[in-house]
């Protein structure tokens, strides 16, 4: 390899590296200060927006006492960051807007991640998946045709109808509630049930012979922050990661689901 060839390779590699780094450098230059994080550090308070109308995730007592899975998770995140959590009631339609105008630092309210708006708002890692799950007996004899129990009209019903359109041998059995669908599987009247993750977490402890066999769809719940709050989001993700690893998130979820 002569000198000119080596120079050419060097130039190409250098150009590639420079082009590779351009977006990061531009982002670094344009990075706006994380006002929410600065405020949290200065005041020692992290303000969570919450719509307290959805138990077991978000509730509000008669003495302005907030409770539920989201409240316990928010309190634990704040504790691990070294600050205190405060809760601000917001209507469901304004859970994102309060972040934009700085009335809250983060929103925790069983928010389903919406990729369409993630260019403006950022999401934490997910702490719960409310998507549809397939429930089967622990000892599941594979039979054909398969009968699937669902709550009539529900998203589980929609998922089962979708499966039936795509494969032969699926018989859908309709029930008035997710609990009735599980009961049918437990009694051997249906082979499987499709219900949502919240119902599954609440009802499965009553049916020890049943288990989640498959995740059919995903509806991940996450915490939202305003797009500039990159340092705050990192702190939340670090705390959430610790909580996932040491079982805190699962413990909080289980406690509320079984109440």
Partner 1 sequence: MLSRRIRFNAAWRVLLIVIWLWAVEWPAAPLVTIGLPQPVLTRNPKIGVHTRLTDEAAAWKVQRTLQMVREMGSPWIVEFFPWAYLEPGKNSFDWDHADQVIDHARAQGLTVIARLGLVPDWARPDPNERETTFNYLDADHYADFGDFVHAFVDRYKGRVQHIVIWNEPNLSFEWGMRPVDAKGYVDLLKIAYRRAKQADPNVIVLAGALAPTLEPIGSVAGLNDLIYLQQMYDAGAKDYFDGLAAHAYGLTAPMTEGPDPNRVNFRRVELLRQIMIDNGDAAKSVYITEAGWNDSPRWNMAVKSAKRIEYTLAAYDWAQQQDWIVMLTMWAFRYPHATRTYQDGWTWVTEDFQPKPIYTEVQKRFTPSNAP
Cis omega (within 30 of 0) for bond into 145: yes
Determine, following the binding rule CB under 8 A, whether residue 195 of this chain makes contact with partner 1.
no
Minimum CB–partner distance for residue 138 and partner 1 (Å): 28
Minimum CB–partner distance for residue 89 and partner 1 (Å): 14
Minimum CB–partner distance for residue 203 and partner 1 (Å): 14
The whole-angstrom separation of Cα 111 and Cα 201 is 17
The whole-angstrom separation of Cα 230 and Cα 236 is 10
SS3 245: helix
**Which residues in 148-167 contact partner 1 (CB under 8 A)?**
151-155, 157-158, 161-162
Looking at the Cβ atoms of 202 and 248, the one nearer to partner 1 is: 202
Residue 226, strand partner residues:
121
The whole-angstrom separation of Cα 151 and Cα 159 is 11
Minimum CB–partner distance for residue 118 and partner 1 (Å): 11
Determine, following the binding rule CB under 8 A, whether residue 125 of this chain makes contact with partner 1.
no
Taking contact as CB under 8 A, which single stretch among the options 4-12, 38-46, 109-117, 249-257 is the one that binds partner 1? 109-117
Looking at the Cβ atoms of 114 and 234, the one nearer to partner 1 is: 114
Minimum CB–partner distance for residue 91 and partner 1 (Å): 11
Which residues are CB-neighbours of 259 under 8 A, at least 6 positions away? 56
Q: Are 112 and 130 in contact (CB under 8 A)?
A: yes
Residue 68's nearest CA partner among 92, 45, 51 is: 51
What ranges in 82-154 are assigned the alpha helix state H? 97-100
Looking at the Cβ atoms of 54 and 140, the one nearer to partner 1 is: 54
Determine, following the binding rule CB under 8 A, whether residue 207 of this chain makes contact with partner 1.
no
**Which residues in 20-49 contact partner 1 (CB under 8 A)?**
none
- Compute CA 220 distance to the chain's CA centroid, rounded to the nearest angstrom: 3
The only residue of 38, 45, 92, 102 in contact with partner 1, by rule CB under 8 A: 92
Determine, following the binding rule CB under 8 A, whether residue 54 of this chain makes contact with partner 1.
yes
The only residue of 14, 43, 103, 114 in contact with partner 1, by rule CB under 8 A: 114
The whole-angstrom separation of Cα 135 and Cα 191 is 9
The only residue of 113, 163, 212, 238 in contact with partner 1, by rule CB under 8 A: 113
Q: What share of the chain is helix, strand, coil (3-state, %, to 5)?
A: 45, 25, 30
Phi then psi dihedrals of residue 213, to 5 deg: -100, -25
Determine, following the binding rule CB under 8 A, whether residue 116 of this chain makes contact with partner 1.
yes
The only residue of 40, 74, 99, 110 in contact with partner 1, by rule CB under 8 A: 110
Q: Are 82 and 235 in contact (CB under 8 A)?
A: no
Where does this chain bind partner 1 (CB under 8 A)? 53-54, 92-93, 110-114, 116, 151-155, 157-158, 161-162, 176, 196, 198, 219
């Amino acid at each position: 390899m002569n000198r000119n060839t080596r120079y050419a390779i060097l130039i190409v590699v250098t150009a590639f590296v420079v082009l590779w780094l351009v977006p990061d450098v531009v982002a670094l230059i344009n990075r706006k200060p994380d006002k929410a994080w600065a405020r949290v550090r200065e005041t020692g308070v992290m303000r969570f927006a919450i719509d307290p109308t959805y138990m077991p995730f978000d509730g509000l007592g008669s003495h302005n006492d907030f409770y539920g899975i989201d409240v316990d998770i928010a309190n634990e995140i704040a504790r691990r960051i070294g600050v205190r959590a405060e809760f601000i009631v917001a209507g469901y339609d304004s859970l994102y807007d309060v972040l934009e105008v700085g009335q809250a630092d983060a929103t925790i309210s069983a928010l389903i991640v919406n990729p369409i708006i993630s260019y403006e708002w950022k999401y934490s890692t997910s702490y719960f998946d409310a998507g549809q799950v397939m429930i089967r007996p622990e000892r599941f004899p594979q039979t054909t045709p398969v009968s699937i129990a669902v709550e009539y009209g529900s998203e589980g019903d929609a998922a089962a109808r979708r499966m039936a359109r795509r494969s032969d041998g699926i018989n859908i059995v309709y029930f008035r509630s997710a609990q009735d669908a599980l009961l049918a599987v437990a009694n051997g009247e249906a082979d499987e049930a499709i219900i949502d993750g919240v119902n599954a977490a609440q009802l499965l402890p009553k049916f020890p012979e049943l288990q989640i066999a498959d995740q059919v769809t995903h509806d991940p719940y996450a915490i939202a922050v305003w797009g500039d709050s990159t340092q705050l989001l990192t702190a939340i993700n670090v705390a959430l990661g610790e909580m996932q690893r040491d079982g805190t998130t699962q413990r909080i979820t289980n406690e509320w689901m079984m109440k």
